[in-house]
Chains A and B, each alone.
Chain A
Amino acid sequence: MAKHLINLGIIEPSHIIYEGLANILLRSTHHFQLYRPDNIEELEHADLKYSFDVIVVNPICLQHNIRSFSNLKRTRPRIVWIALVYAYFDREILSQFDNIIQITDSAETIINNIYRQVQTSVPGVDIPAGEHITERETDVLKLLVQGLSNKEIADKLNISIHTVVSHRKNIIQKTGIKSQAGLTIYAISNKLISIDIGLSSPPPGGGKALIKRSVTVPPSLL
């Protein structure tokens, strides 16, 4: 099984404790990408860029920020919130978290506690190795590289635009390729479409494509 990176933010004022926790997580068998925002406000900003799966917070950092914390919790339901506790906190504060880790927990317990939460909340955190795009995604991809718009693809395949968008997101996530030109190359490599490019013509830059089968690549790409 290949695993996705788990984006994890740690908000913890003590440097020693941050480094210790980071060390435990990075050495575990799961793949964590770690970030250390300074506070809740920075977290909100950073989330737009990194889209966190898990946030580990020392509740002491929330004392004057309970409101931003509740807001974040409400607006980012996908994030798992875990309290990192080594002082006394009111039960009411702790009850807002999905799980709690104690500073005296063993490394194994800490990792398991975090990972168990992620498994249940982040779909597809375990992905089978070499997963290919599905048949439906292939249909979308074929039309996409012909230069069709979301609307046109939706009409052609008789699905909603929303579904087209979600297929496109999956294609990008699975292939790692965002641009249309890049996806065209991907489609050719995987024999989803084929083009005949007159191989005797001059190398990269020149040459005109002839399209085999019923798939057309827009001239702008060739």
Chain B
Amino acid sequence: MYKTVRTYIKPDIRIADLVFENPYLLLLLEHFDLDLIMHDKTVSQICIENGINEKIFISFANLYNGFSLSGSGGFEKEHIETIIRFLSNSHNYFKHDKYPEIQDYIKKLYEKNPTAEIKLIGKFFDDYFAEVTEHLNYEETVAFPYFHSLLHKVSQDTKNQKNRFSGAEYLEHHTDIESKLADLKNLLIKHVSLKNDPVNRRKLLFSLIELEFVLNIHSFIEETILIPLVIELEKKQNLG
């Protein structure tokens, strides 16, 4: 439903060309556990060599290029493991790479601009980070294991009601995470004046924008691909 000027990715396009066009694809490769040196290989070659499902790779890569899925996407339960692996890798990127980096920029910003605003921005981000970490941990310890158990038809421990997966809870977390990030961007671009550190602010903003980009796609994959697949699976198992 939206426009872009980027290439619509197909199996016979060279990956290097795609990365030149949209460097964010480096993150996609990383989250598929791929070596970043691509030589002149095409999308299709890379997928075959590394045992990655081509359909998933191309759909995700096209999300990075701004193309939404056509229709339901036609994913099946065989794809669930790969999708979870991809998502777990991006969790590591959020938790151990991007968020600490942003915290560090805010800290540096505060060193040169010791104002109440920057201090509160630091606090705002720390709280936000804690909230995101909690959600990511929820996915890792409750949601993903539940999906695994569904796939392998292991009966779930239903005694522990607290650790039950809930689709509604999942989605609610997402909305909140996105809106706080938007607040932060708005504050830093439109409102909070800084005198002493334009370079750090720019780095911080780039970092936030990258995070937002990856996070949005991450949520999209979960909401429109993974969750519907899981719901489908639940239905089938209840019938059988």
A interface residues with partner B (beta carbon < 8 Å): 22, 26, 34-37, 46, 175-179, 181-182, 184-186, 188-190, 194-197, 199, 203-205, 207, 209, 221-222
Contacts and interface: CB of A to CB of B under 8 A. Distances in A.
Nearest to B107: A203
B179 A185 contact: no
Contacts of B123: 181, 204-205, 221-222
Contacts of B2: 34-35
Q: Which of B1, B119, B184 has the most chain A CB atoms closer than 10 A to its own CB?
A: B119
Contact of B187 (A37, A185, A196, A222): A185
Given A188-B120, A203-B107, A176 B1 contact: no
Contact of A182 (B1, B111, B119, B187): B187
A204 B1 contact: no
Nearest to A19: B3
A35 B190 CA distance: 27
A207 B191 contact: no
B168 interface: no
A203 B119 contact: yes
B2 to A, nearest CB: 7
| Chain B contact surface mostly | helix
Contacts of A205: 122-123, 126
Given A203-B107, A203-B111, A221 B120 contact: yes
Contacts of B192: 185, 189
Given A26-B3, A46-B1, A186-B191, A207 B119 contact: yes
Contacts, number: 88
B1 A178 contact: no
Contacts of B187: 177, 182, 185-186, 189
A205 B121 CA distance: 9
Nearest to B114: A199
Contact of A190 (B107, B111, B116, B191): B191
Nearest to A177: B183
B82 interface: no
A33 B195 CA distance: 34
Given A185-B117, A185-B187, A189-B193, A36 B122 contact: no
A182 B183 contact: yes
Given A188-B116, A203-B122, A204-B118, 6 more contacts: A35-B2, A181-B127, A184-B120, A185-B117, A189-B192, A203-B111
A40 B31 CA distance: 38
B182 interface: yes
B120 A181 contact: yes
B110 to A, nearest CB: 5
A176 B117 contact: no
B141 interface: no
Contacts of A199: 114
B1 A35 contact: yes
Instruction: Across the A-B interface, give the 3 residue pairs with the lowest CB-CB distance, nearest first.
Output: A204-B122, A182-B183, A176-B186
B182 A204 contact: no
B230 interface: no
A98 to B, nearest CB: 23
A100 to B, nearest CB: 25
Contacts of A188: 116-117, 120
B124 interface: yes
Q: Which of A34, A177, A186, A204 has the most chain B CB atoms closer than 10 A to its own CB?
A: A204
